[in-house]
Every structure is written in structure tokens, then in C-alpha cells.
Homo-oligomer: A and B are copies of this chain.
Amino acid sequence: MQIQVVRKILEHNEETAKRLHDTFRSHKTLVINLMSSPGAGKTTLLEATLDTLQRSFNTAVIEGDISTTRDAERIAATGAQTLQINTDGACHLDSSMLLQALEHLDLSSLDLLFIENVGNLVCPAEFDLGEDVTVTLLSVPEGDDKPEKYPGMFAKSHALILNKTDLLPYLSFDVKRAETAARTVNRDLLFFAVSAATGEGLEGWTQWIADRVREKKAA
């Protein structure tokens, strides 16, 4: 019975996610779901990414948090339109929460929408949000063994961003090992190594997103 209910919850999520995906397509808005452990640097990456991409694209951010509006305040300071979803204890965003939040956004004016998921390397991977691009952030201090130990999220993602490369000199982290481990789980995974704090390596990532936005506009 418990398994049936879990399946029902996931099926319901999938149905809503499909509707959202169609909505995003009709508005030609590129939607990116950003997932990671707590403190891997999602918000800092977004701040740096918005700094570049807002020059070219109308961009909004939906901030998913269990509690507080701290991240939303940081993002709003960049000038991007920002919406907060507080999950009130839940360990992930789901497509119904997103559907509700979208009532407050004018998608027709948006080129690009980032969704910052709840910090959790497990549960968010099971809940499709109808996004175009699924991104996992892994930070250097977490260790190069994480793709093997938490394979679900890496298997589901289009891109892996290794963040906090500025800390590589102080830690034993083998970038090649992490990349290989991630590609063992998902051989099509794109890989970017960046430091959101120093800006190192960000051009490749922002250029890739810009290309995806233009591709969707042209489709």
C-alpha cells in the first residue's frame, strides 16, 4: 500500500510536469532546474550567472527553500524577478508547487527561468518539474566520490557543474575521478568546472545556457 501511494504521488507529479513542459514550450521560455547538496553554491552560481545572462535575456528565478527567504533576497538584489517557494519541511520541490508559483510570473515575457531546488542530493531528482535542462552542482569540499554514492541525481541531469574549484589547492579532490565517476552513471553528462566565487570557468557555462535559450526561441 505504501509503495502504491508513493507511485501515485510520482505519477501525479509527472502529469503536472508534462503540462508545465508544454506551457514552457508554448512560451519559448528555457527552464533550468538546479539541484545540489546544501551549501554547494547554487545561489552564488545563480548570482554570477545572472550577472552575465541578464544583459541579454529576461530572466526570473524561483527559489525553493524549506525555510527562510535568504536566497530569494540575494537573488532579488541582482535585479532578477524572484519568487520564493517555502516547502515547509518538504525535502524537494514538486510540480504542483511550481504550478502554483507560476501564477505570479508572466512567462510570455521571460526568456529564461531558473529554479533553485531545495538543497538535497537525493529527493529532488525524483520530482520532474517540466524543465528543459536539469543541472546538478557538486562542490569540491563534498569529495570526488559523490557521483558513485548518490547516483540518482547525476543519472538524471544534463549537466554537472563542479563548483568551488578555488578550493582545490586545499583539499584532496581528483577532478578527473569525479568526472569519470559521473560519466559512468551518465555518459552524456556535460561537465563544467567553475568557481562561482571567483568567476573562474563561468564563461563556458553561461555561453552554453545562452545557446540553449536562443535554440528554444528559434524552435
Residues of A whose CB lies within 8 Å of any CB of B are: 1-2, 5, 8-9, 37-39, 65-68, 70-71, 89, 91, 118-123, 139-143, 145-146, 148-152, 164, 166-167, 170-171
- Please pick, from B70, B89, B170, the residue contacting A149 in the complex, using a CB distance under 8 A: B70
* CA distance in complex: A146, B164 (Å): 18
**Known: A2-B9, A5-B5, A141-B39. Is A68-B123 also a contact (CB below 8 A)?**
no
> Which of A37, A65, A151 is the most central at the interface, judged by chain B CB atoms within 10 Å of its CB?
A37
Q: Which residues of B contact A9 (CB under 8 A)?
A: 2
- Minimum CB–CB distance from A63 to chain B (whole Å) comes to 11
CB distance from A8 to the nearest CB of B (A): 8
CB distance from A114 to the nearest CB of B (A): 18
Nearest to A164 among chain B residues (CB) is: B141
A92 CB, nearest partner CB in chain B, Å: 9
Q: Which residues of B contact A121 (CB under 8 A)?
A: 37-38, 119-120
A149 proximity list for chain B (CB < 8 A): 38, 65-68, 70-71, 119
Q: Top 8 A-B pairs ranked by shortest CB distance?
A: A39-B142, A141-B141, A91-B122, A39-B143, A37-B38, A37-B37, A5-B5, A38-B121
**Please, which residue of chain B has its CB at the minimum distance from the CB of A166?**
B170
A170, chain B: closest CB distance, angstroms: 6
**Residue with the greatest number of chain B CB neighbours at <10 A, chosen from A1, A71, A91, A152:** A91
- Of A2, A9, A150, A170, most buried by chain B (CB within 10 Å of CB) is A150
Do the beta carbons of B67 and A148 come within 8 Å of each other? Answer: yes
Q: How far is the CB of A128 from chain B (nearest CB, A)?
A: 16
User: Complex formed: what's the CA distance from A69 to B38 in Å?
Assistant: 23
